[in-house]
Structure formats: structure tokens, C-alpha cells
Amino acid sequence: MRKEPMTVPISGATTGCLLVVDDQETNIQIIGATLGKLGFEIIPATSGAQALGRLANCHPDLILLDLLMPDMDGFKVCERIRENPAWVGIPIIFLSSADDKDLIVRALETGGVDYITKPFNHAELISRIRTHLALKIARDDLKQLAEDKDELLGILTHDLKNHLGGMNMSAELLRDRNGLQDDPKQRLLVENISNSSGQMLSFVNEFLANSSAHHQMHIKLEPVSLADAASRAIRQFREAAGRKNLSMQTSLPDEDSLVQADSSALSQVLENLLSNAVKFSPLGKQISVAIRPAKDYVECLVRDQGAGFTVEDKSRMFRRYGRLSARPTGGESSAGLGLSIVKKLMDAMGGELACESTAGNGAAFCIRFPRAVLQP
């Protein structure tokens, strides 16, 4: 459930819950008296350990943290807070009598959002607290909007996928019925429905794959056979290649191709590269897939004889929805997401991705992974 934001007006009363951490109770009383009059709820803590204990039972909107305290100083307290995902979004303002530039830089690098020196001006303290509370509200609202958008798009795209899949299957069943052979107009209509629904389904699938890559899917690196993964991807696209009379030349060694990768992400990478090779290859050309083992790594090269890429294409080929100069040769859909997905997944797995191409001379994509380290 979405948390209702607190009210932080520019002037007048302000509401919010503040955790004030200082080993001097007098300082907490002074801050509490000043901010309590403005409507703040004050939670006191006289040590770092006590502050962490308070956080286990409450979730303040902002923390005022003394820097120089015995046992556990402000740096350590801030580090402990930032290590906890439940507390990481709470703004921390350091308070200290030390006006040392190195300490200030260290405090901000540790995770503080501001640094105020003692003795502080009350009006300045109130102004900075209000500013950081307002910024926190803005961040929380943007995060919630992004989550709402992703949830809505997820619902829409999954529903679209189901409906489009059913429509495409129905059209293909109708197309295969013998009765349509005698009625060219009906057959043309069914072909149009099948092609349009197929293209839309392809777009939705690419959109979902891009969304998964964008939100950093859980990558589990383990020993994976690059040759086996390539073989599965090739089988998946042989029929599509056959419809365009494309020959598939392969060089896949039976062994010596174990790499450190994520099986699911690797499959997505190979499927996108082969899908593009089929889409952008003219009829009757050749696609080659080769596994090339080396001493410290194993790579897979996917080469086509399509239109290739211009210099301008290369500068934007890994952008989402990037439109490149080459167009599909068989009326296939192209959302401009495939190479963006490949780049994100390769980066997430720690692999290398390279492209060699000149306009009019096809393209060769090379993916490279370190060899798998097998446990004895």
C-alpha cells in the first residue's frame, strides 16, 4: 500500500518524524524544543547502538546524526544504516562541531545528504531539514510512479501477449484449412490477420524481454556450455531461416565450450542475435554460427550477409527503440529492442560484446565469456 506523503510547506508548521542522535542529551533537548514547536515528532538516541535499535522499531523521515560520539561514531552509524535496504532511503544530516573539509567530504561519501556545523543557526537547520524532507517526498513519489507504471505496463503487455497469441494461432489454423484454397479473398484476409498479429506478438515479446533486462534480472553465473546454448537457439530459428531459403552453417565443438554465464540470459542473447540475422538477411543468403575456444575464454560468432551497419548505425545500435538503416527483408517486425537487450544482458553477465560490420557487407556479432571455473 502506498504511504501517504507527509506535508512539508515552505513556511509555517511542518510535520515529520526525526531521529536525533547525539551523545549530549542537552543538544537533543535544544533541537527537540526548536523542532517540536513546528510539529515534528522527535525520537532521541544518545548513542549509535541506541539509534540502530530505534530504527528497528520505527521508520523516521530524516535522521540528524552527531559525527563525534564515543564507541560508535557517526561514520560507522551511517554505514550501518546504508547497509540495510529498509533504511537506505532515509536522509541523514550530519551535525558536528568539527569544521574540517576532509571530515565533511568523508561524511557525504559515507552516505550523508548534508553537513551542518555546531553551534548551528536554528533557521538554517530548519530550512535544510525542510529541503531534504521535500526532496525525499519527491524521490518517493517518483519511485511510486515508476512502480505503478511498470505494474500497469506489465499487466497490459501480458494480457496483450495472451490475446495476440490466441489470435495468431486461430489465424494459422484457418489458413491451413483446405476450404480457403478456393477463396483467394478469404485467404488474403487470414494471411493479413496472421502477419499483423504475429508482428505485434513479436513486439510484445521483445518489450517484455527488454523490461526484464532493464530491471536487472537475477543473474546466476555458473558453468554453461556455449555450444549447447547456441545449438538450441539455432534449432529454434531453422524454420524461420528455411522460409527465406537461408542456409545455416555451424561450427559447434562437442566439448571445450564451458563458460561462466547465466543460462537464461545467454539463451536470450543468442536468440536475439539469430533473430536479427534471419530478419535482416536477404533471401537465399547464408548465416554462420561458430564457437571459438581460446586459452582464457570462449566466444561465439554470429555472422550474416545482410545490409550491415553504417557508421551512424554503430553509434546508436545498442539504444532502446533505436531505428537503424537496415530493414527486415521478409516483412518481419522490428521494435529496435533486440540489440539493447543483448547489451544489457552481456554487461550483467560480465561478458564482452563486439560488432564488425560495414554498410553492404553484412554483420558479425561476437560474444565472449571467461572459461568456467570447475570446482574440484
- 171 and 44 in a common domain: no
Query: What is the structure's pLDDT at 338?
Result: 73
- 72 and 209 in a common domain: no
Give the total number of structural domains in the chain.
3
- For residue 201, pLDDT beyond 80: no
- 287 and 261 in a common domain: yes
Asked whether residue 206 is domain-assigned, the answer is: yes
- 370 and 233 in a common domain: yes
- Give me the domain span that covers residue 290: 219-376
Asked whether residue 54 is domain-assigned, the answer is: yes
Q: Are 59 and 41 in contact (CB under 8 A)?
A: no
pLDDT, averaged across the chain: 84
Per-residue pLDDT of 49-89, as tens digits, reads: 999 999 988 899 999 999 989 889 999 999 999 999 889 99
Per-residue pLDDT of 273-314, as tens digits, reads: 998 899 899 999 999 999 999 999 999 999 999 988 888 888
- For residue 186, pLDDT beyond 70: yes
Closest CA to 77 of 19, 135, 32, 125: 19
- 267 and 369 in a common domain: yes
Q: Which helix (H) or strand (E) holds 366?
A: strand 363-370
- For residue 124, pLDDT beyond 80: yes
Pairing of strands 352-357, 363-370: antiparallel
The pTM is what? 0.52
In angstroms, how far is CA 278 from the centroid of its own chain? 27
Cell numbers that stand for 159 in this block: 494480457
- 208 and 223 in a common domain: no
Asked whether residue 280 is domain-assigned, the answer is: yes
Query: What is the structure's pLDDT at 154?
Result: 64
- 243 and 181 in a common domain: no
Asked whether residue 133 is domain-assigned, the answer is: no
- 245 and 190 in a common domain: no
